[in-house]
Amino acid sequence: MSTLTAAPLAPLLDRLFEEAAAPAAIPGVSDLPAEERARWMRSKTGYLDLYRRLKDLPLAVSRETARLLYMLARICRARTIVEFGTSFGISTLHLAAALRDNGGGRLITSEFEPSKVARARDHLTAGGLIDLVEIREGDALRTLSVDLPETVDLLLLDGAKALYPEVLALVESRLRPGSLVVADDSDHSPDYLARVRSPAQGYLSAPFMGSVELSMRLG
Ligand SMILES: C[S@@+](CC[C@H](N)C(=O)[O-])C[C@H]1O[C@@H](n2cnc3c(N)ncnc32)[C@H](O)[C@@H]1O
């Protein structure tokens, strides 16, 4: 058994994924033409407005990606994890469960929507994992610019896609050789992909399960 497959976490995740699968129409977002939505996703300024409109949606990683996150954090024996984009805390629960099963550690996650921070805190408490997690409320460009651990074993990028290069730059000096960076929906961040796929930048990188980009920091 692992923390992920035992109570209280397993039934909590079943419920959260079920709720996340429920279809939802968001006025001003779902009715946008696909091209316009893609442009918005890539905007470095429109993200506050976009995510404010999406504040009642979990926008969670897929169940498969979530399980991959747990496994990757176990495989690299992560003790320090940074996450950009908490939302309702579904990915956070997986990463914190891996920390628990690795023997403990620290997960710093960032979210600017106060109602989402409250929900994520409730879920982490219900899952018995809140003691491992520090939720930083506010724009990650500010909250992740200070007081990071000396070394980071795993970084998850899952906030505003246009900010992936900036958030990577904030954490990069802390990434130890062999650490992992996982970027969800990375096809919306071409600048980010160009960076981690360029051999000169110090990463080995490959797409995984559609638009998840998995990168390893080289020594
Ligand atoms: C795709 S969702 C994250 C889903 C979450 N990782 C999961 O799988 O459960 C992206 C979240 O990032 C938040 N966000 C986007 N840009 C942000 C920023 N610059 N700073 C903090 N939070 C941000 C949004 O409010 C949204 O809740």
CA 11 to ligand 1 center in whole angstroms = 23
Whether the full predicted model's pTM is greater than 0.85, yes or no, is yes
**What's the rounded Cα separation, in Å, for the pair 173 and 186?**
21
The DSSP output letter for 62 is P
CA 113 to ligand 1 center in whole angstroms = 8
CA 182 to ligand 1 center in whole angstroms = 14
Kindly report, residue by residue over 59-117, the tens digit of the pLDDT.
999 999 999 999 999 999 999 999 999 999 999 999 999 999 999 999 999 999 999 99
Q: What angle do CA 187, 30, 209 make, to 5 degrees?
A: 30
Which among 97, 81, 130, 133 is positioned nearest to 1, based on CA atoms?
97
Q: Average per-residue pLDDT in the chain?
A: 94
pLDDT at 53: 86
Asked if 154 contacts 95 with a C-beta cutoff of 8 angstroms, the reply is yes
**What's the rounded Cα separation, in Å, for the pair 178 and 176?**
6
> What is each CA distance from 42 to 11, 37, 139, 187, 206, in whole angstroms?
35, 9, 17, 10, 21
Strands 152-157 and 212-217: unpaired
Per-residue H/E/C for 72-141: HHHHCCCCEEEEECCCCCHHHHHHHHHHHHCCCCEEEEEECCHHHHHHHHHHHHHCCCHHHEEEEECCHH
Q: What angle do CA 118, 59, 28 make, to 5 degrees?
A: 100
* Ligand 1 nearest-atom number relative to CA 65: 8
CA 176 to ligand 1 center in whole angstroms = 24
Q: What integer is the mean pLDDT of 189-199?
A: 96
Tokens linked to 79: 């003790």
How would you classify residue 210: left for phi > 0, otherwise alpha for psi between -120 and 50, otherwise beta? left
From atom 8 of ligand 1, which residue's Cα is the shortest distance away? 60
**What's the rounded Cα separation, in Å, for the pair 43 and 192?**
13
Kindly report, residue by residue over 10-53, the tens digit of the pLDDT.
999 999 999 999 877 776 777 777 787 777 778 888 888 888 88
Residue 150 confidence (pLDDT) above 80: yes
Pocket of ligand 1 (CB under 6 A): 47, 51, 59-61, 85, 87-88, 90-91, 110-113, 116, 139-141, 158-160, 163
CA 218 to ligand 1 center in whole angstroms = 27
The radius of gyration of the chain from alpha carbons, rounded to an integer in Å, stands at: 16
From atom 7 of ligand 1, which residue's Cα is the shortest distance away? 60
* Ligand 1 nearest-atom number relative to CA 83: 6
CA 86 to ligand 1 center in whole angstroms = 5
Give the mutation target among 84, 145, 163 for probing the ligand 1 site: most ligand atoms within 8 A of CB: 84
